[in-house]
Structures are given as structure tokens and as C-alpha cells.
Amino acid sequence: MFTYWGGVRSGKMQIWQLFELNGKKTAISSISGKKWPAYFILYGGGDTSEIIYEENGEVKTKNHKPACIVDGVYDLKSDWGKEGIERNSGWSTDPQVLYKSFDKVFEQNLIVNPFLLFGYYGKVGSEEFNEMVEKRQPNMRVDLDYTISELKKRRNIIPYKTDKMHERYLFNMIDLQKMKREKVLKQSQQLTPLIEGLLTEYQIPFEKFDLDTALHNNDYSTFGLDKPLPKNILEEDMNAAQELYRK
């Protein structure tokens, strides 16, 4: 069982796809702030998935359309989750009971974007989100003792990058003005030690994961899965980064 504590542009899509390709159960949560309701999407490791959300003080579920599959492979460039999410509806942006569904979330082999489990509901990559984590000021009701207990049973992965050329390429792909992209990059980099401090405070063990070694060598052995990510997709990504650097 794994929990992946990545910020912006931190390999989350690749890790999620890796688990999906291997038929594992995965969970994704909202990280776009309160312009979106709080939710989890649970993928069944195949053709089924469901959304968990809160409405009128109750935890509810609905069917969800699984991610795009192209020639038997989950498409890395497809959106993994927002189809079926109902904005400007009765879905709660101030959840009071959503934490009661966390037992289902913890059943998944992989949890990506696990910040809601601690009650941090906001836009990852923003100054406000980092401040919440740093000051331990969650804005969503959770059972903290339960979350800590369950996370101690999992392998908590904190990714990092040493290849700054490739990191900048990834952030240049964000559809924002350059100054805003630089700000998101800086704040995402600042989030990593904040996560380390959070887990350390609650005595939750974690492992650092070198994204660049994994990408260059297609080495995701940390996760102990049989099927690797498609090599042609990884090579395409690296070639694009190198071309950007040459420009």
C-alpha cells in the first residue's frame, strides 16, 4: 500500500498510470482549491471507478467514467479525474462528514494527492496551501488519529527532482504567465520539506523517491509492480525537455 505525496508536476500521473496498468486500485483527491468541491475518485484497477463526495451533510457516491485507454494503455495526456465532478451544485466545499469515507480510500493500493486525509483542502502550489500545512491549520474536519494510524501502515513516498532543466520544462507546460509559473514552481519546491516535517511530526515513516533516476532509467522498482510504464512515452517526454533547453 502506497501514498504519494507529490506537489505540482511531480510524476503523479505517471505513478497513477503505473498502478492502473498493473490492475491495482487507486485513489485521487481534489487539489484545485474550493472552486471545486472536495472529492475522491476510486479506480477499481480496470473499467470501473466511482466518485465519493459530500452533499447535504451526507457522504455520497456516483459512477465515474474511467480514464481514456488508447491501444490498451492508459493515456498519460488525458485528464485523470474531473469529468463527472459537479461544480456549482450541492456538493460540499465545507465538508463535515467526508472523513467518514476515508476507510474506503485507505483500501486502495495507491493514494495520490492525500492532503485531504489530513484536512488540508486547497490549491496545491499556492502560498495559502503551504501556509496551512506549515501552521498545521487544516480547514476540513477529519479524524486525525485515524489518519495517522492508517498512514503508518503504508509506504509514504515523497518525490523530488534534481534535474532542474526538466523540472523547468514541466512547469513551462502550465498555462500561466511566466511570472505565475515561477511562483508555482517555487511554492511547489517549498512544499516538499513541509510534507517531510508534517509526517515527521506525526512519526509517520516516509521514503524519498528520485523522479529523475526513475525517468531516465524507467526504474519504478520501488513500487514492486510487474508491468513498466511504456518506454516510448518516457522517451518522448525527455526529448521534449531537451529540445526546450536547446531553445
- Tens of pLDDT along the chain (247 residues) come to 999 998 776 778 788 888 888 889 999 888 888 888 999 999 876 667 889 999 999 999 988 776 555 555 555 444 555 677 888 788 999 999 999 999 999 999 999 999 999 999 988 878 898 899 999 999 999 999 999 999 999 999 998 877 666 666 666 656 566 667 667 777 777 888 999 999 999 999 999 988 777 777 777 888 888 888 776 555 445 444 344 333 3
Residue of 135, 188, 142, 145 whose CA lies nearest to 164: 188
Q: In what order do the strands lie in the sheet with 155-160?
A: 58-63, 49-55, 39-43, 26-29, 110-112, 2-4, 155-160, 206-210
Whole-number pLDDT of residue 167: 66
* Domain with 113 in it: 2-246
CB 148 within 8 A of CB 201: no
Whole-number pLDDT of residue 246: 36
Alpha carbons 37 and 55: distance in angstroms, whole number: 10
Whole-number pLDDT of residue 165: 67
The tally of domains found in the chain comes to 1
Whole-number pLDDT of residue 233: 55
Phi-psi region of 224 (alpha: psi -120 to 50; beta: other; left: phi over 0): left
Whole-number pLDDT of residue 242: 40
Where do the DSSP E strands lie in the chain? 2-4, 26-29, 39-43, 49-55, 58-63, 69-70, 73-74, 110-112, 155-160, 206-210
